[in-house]
Structures are given as structure tokens and as C-alpha cells.
């Protein structure tokens, strides 16, 4: 059982809802642990085909918990950052699609959490930002690296150095989110995307996710070679035979994750 989040499985999609609305869903140490456990639960459950991460109330996640961080020494703070990094890296390594349904404030560690997901869908009410320099620190859950990779170095530096909070539309304009929808359509849109991906060949989806993520830290030649090596996994799967047969036989494919 979880104290700070809600875990639900609906039609093959695991919904992980951060649930500390009184503190704007701020990430304290135990919530970081619980999120790691919830993602492990979803990763290990063969009934889960996709994962949707969202927040309860006004916030998606308004950052790391400032009241917990305030009195931490640098060493203790680093330990918390290690925990945050482990969570973000784990989300990226889960071999299932992870969609952030950003319902409200995604600030600091919350923006970093959304960026660790594969796809970000935002409510029109969502707000994004990395306001750490207001607090005398820098983004510490991977934001200095993931934000520039998503929006470019100049815009990444602009957002981190000015601490500006931006609207969902602006986040869409700069490529930080993939879609903006009215609040009442957020869950449905995220679910529809989750279902669409879940209908594809799972080994192909997982391999594509992994190659895209790993490729960012490699030079082009090595990254291309990584793609060449990785493509043998889906290419040798039963699902490849099924997908191609289904196309030629003009019928829908039935993938079995083999
Ligand atoms: N941590 C702890 N409590 C928070 C946080 C937070 N990040 N955000 C909001 N709260 C609390 C408020 O203190 C308040 O508590 P209380 O009711 O007891 O006074 C409650 O949530 C409601 O918040 P507000 O009254 O402020 O609500 P508003 O609607 O007026 O404002 C905002 C909402 C804009 C989200 C505002 O609360 C805010 O600016 N929050 C802080 C945002 C922020 O600075 N986030 C970055 C944090 S730093 C970070 O994430 C770094 C991550 C990596 C570093 C790791 C190092 C260990």
C-alpha cells in the first residue's frame, strides 16, 4: 500500500497518481521511494502495457519538498538527489511507455519528473518551470540535462537561469510537451495514447524507447551502430513475423510480446 500516491490498474494501463495535494504533491524522500516502488510494480506486472503518471489536485508535482530540503546538509542533499536521479533514470529504463498527464504545476522536481516520462500531455491549466535558482540551488533531479535535450540549450538555460514559470501553450511551443488539452480531456487523451501504443508490438516499442534514450548520450556514429545492433531484437521476435504477416494478409496483428 502507498501513503502518498494512488496506484490503479485500468484496462492494461497503470495509473500512478501523486497524492499529497496539501503540499502541492511535493516530492519528499518517502514519496520518491513510493514512486520507485509503484513504477517497479507496473514494470513487473505483465498485465500492464502502459503507465500514466499524474497528480491529484492543483499540482502535478510542485518540486522537491522544500521543508524537507531546507535543513539538509550538502551531503544529505546529495543523498536525496541520488534518490531522485535513480527514480528518473528508472522511469526512462522501464520497457513500457510512460505518459505524464500534467494536470497542474510541474515545477522543479515536478518538471524533471515529467521530463523523465516518454511523452507529456498537458492540461491547459498546467504550468512548467525550473525555479530552483530562486531557492539558491540548481535543478538536481536531472533537469540541467533533460531540459536542454528537449528544448535546446538556449531555451534550457533561459528557463533555468530566469526561473520563469511558463504556460502549457508555451511549453507546447518550445517542445516541452507534446499536446495541450482542456482539463476535462486530460485523462482520456493520455489513456487513448496509452492504448494506441499498447496495441503496437511491445518489444519494438521497448527497443525504440531504449535506443532513443541511450542514443542521446552518444555520438551519431556510435548511436547509429547502437540502432543497428538493437534492431536485431525486434527483428528476431515472433511479433515481427506476426506484424508483417498481418499486413500482407490484410488483418489486424495480434502481438504476444514474444
Ligand atoms: N515543497 C514543500 N511544500 C510546498 C511546495 C514544495 N515544493 N510547493 C508548495 N508547497 C506547499 C506550500 O508551502 C503550502 O503549504 P501550507 O499550506 O502549509 O502553507 C501548500 O503547498 C500550498 O502552496 P501555496 O499556498 O504556495 O499554493 P499557491 O497556489 O499559492 O502556489 C505554487 C502554488 C506556485 C506551486 C507555489 O506553492 C510554489 O511556488 N511552490 C514551490 C515551487 C518550487 O519552488 N519548486 C521547486 C522546488 S526545488 C526542486 O524541486 C529541486 C529538485 C531537485 C533538488 C534536490 C536536492 C535535494
Find the catalytic residue in 112, 124, 164, 249. Answer: 112
Find the catalytic residue in 132, 227, 238, 249. Answer: 132
Express each pLDDT in 139-157 by its tens digit: 999 999 999 999 999 999 9
C-alpha cell at 186: 486530460
Express each pLDDT in 41-57 by its tens digit: 999 999 999 999 999 99
**Percent of the chain scoring above 90 in pLDDT:** 99
Q: CA-to-CA distance for 175 and 112, rounded, in angstroms? A: 14
**Is the pLDDT reported for residue 32 higher than 90?**
yes
Catalytic, 184? Answer no
**Ligand 1 center–CA 62 separation, angstroms:** 5
**Ligand 1 center–CA 24 separation, angstroms:** 6
**Ligand 1 center–CA 67 separation, angstroms:** 9
Cell numbers 527514480 correspond to 87
**Is the pLDDT reported for residue 3 higher than 90?**
yes
Cβ(15) – ligand 1 distance below 6 Å = no
Q: CA-to-CA distance for 184 and 187, rounded, in angstroms? A: 7
Express each pLDDT in 70-97 by its tens digit: 999 999 999 999 999 999 999 999 999 9
- Taking residues 221-243, report their average pLDDT: 96
Query: What band does 1 get if pLDDT is binned at 50, 70 and 90?
Result: confident
Based on DSSP, count helices (H) and strands (E) in the chain, helices before strands. Answer: 12, 10
Query: What band does 5 get if pLDDT is binned at 50, 70 and 90?
Result: very high
pLDDT given at position 150: 97
Q: CA-to-CA distance for 151 and 133, rounded, in angstroms? A: 19
Choosing from 23, 57, 62, 64 the residue with most ligand 1 atoms within 8 A of its CB, the one to mutate for a pocket test is 62
- What is the atom index within ligand 1 of the atom nearest the CA of 109? 50
Cβ(65) – ligand 1 distance below 6 Å = yes
**Is the pLDDT reported for residue 128 higher than 90?**
yes
Q: CA-to-CA distance for 149 and 85, rounded, in angstroms? A: 16
Amino acid at each position: 500500500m502507498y501513503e502518498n500516491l494512488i496506484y490503479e490498474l485500468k484496462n492494461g494501463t497503470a495509473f500512478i497518481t501523486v497524492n499529497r495535494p496539501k503540499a502541492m504533491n511535493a516530492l519528499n524522500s518517502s514519496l520518491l521511494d513510493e514512486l520507485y516502488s509503484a513504477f517497479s510494480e507496473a514494470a513487473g506486472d505483465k498485465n500492464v502495457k502502459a503507465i500514466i503518471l499524474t497528480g491529484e489536485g492543483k499540482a502535478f508535482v510542485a518540486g522537491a519538498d522544500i521543508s524537507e530540503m531546507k535543513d539538509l546538509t550538502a551531503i544529505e542533499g546529495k543523498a536525496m538527489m541520488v534518490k531522485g536521479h535513480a527514480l528518473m533514470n528508472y522511469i526512462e529504463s522501464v520497457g513500457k511507455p510512460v505518459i505524464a498527464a500534467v494536470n497542474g504545476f510541474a515545477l522543479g522536481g515536478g518538471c524533471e519528473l515529467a521530463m523523465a516520462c516518454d511523452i507529456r500531455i498537458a492540461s491547459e491549466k498546467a504550468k512548467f518551470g525550473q525555479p530552483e535558482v530562486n531557492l539558491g540551488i540548481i535543478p538536481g533531479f536531472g533537469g540541467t540535462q533533460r531540459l536542454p535535450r528537449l528544448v535546446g540549450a538556449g531555451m534550457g538555460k533561459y528557463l533555468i537561469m530566469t526561473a520563469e514559470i511558463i504556460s502549457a501553450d508555451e511549453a507546447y511551443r518550445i517542445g516541452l510537451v507534446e499536446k495541450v488539452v482542456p482539463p476535462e480531456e486530460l485523462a482520456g487523451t493520455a489513456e487513448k495514447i496509452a492504448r494506441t501504443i499498447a496495441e503496437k508490438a511491445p518489444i519494438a516499442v521497448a527497443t525504440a524507447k531504449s535506443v532513443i534514450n541511450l542514443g542521446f548520450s552518444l555520438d551519431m556514429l556510435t548511436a547509429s551502430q547502437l540502432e543497428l545492433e538493437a534492431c536485431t531484437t525486434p527483428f528476431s521476435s515472433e511479433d515481427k513475423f506476426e506484424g508483417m504477416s498481418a499486413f500482407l494478409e490484410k488483418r489486424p496483428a495480434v502481438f504476444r510480446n514474444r
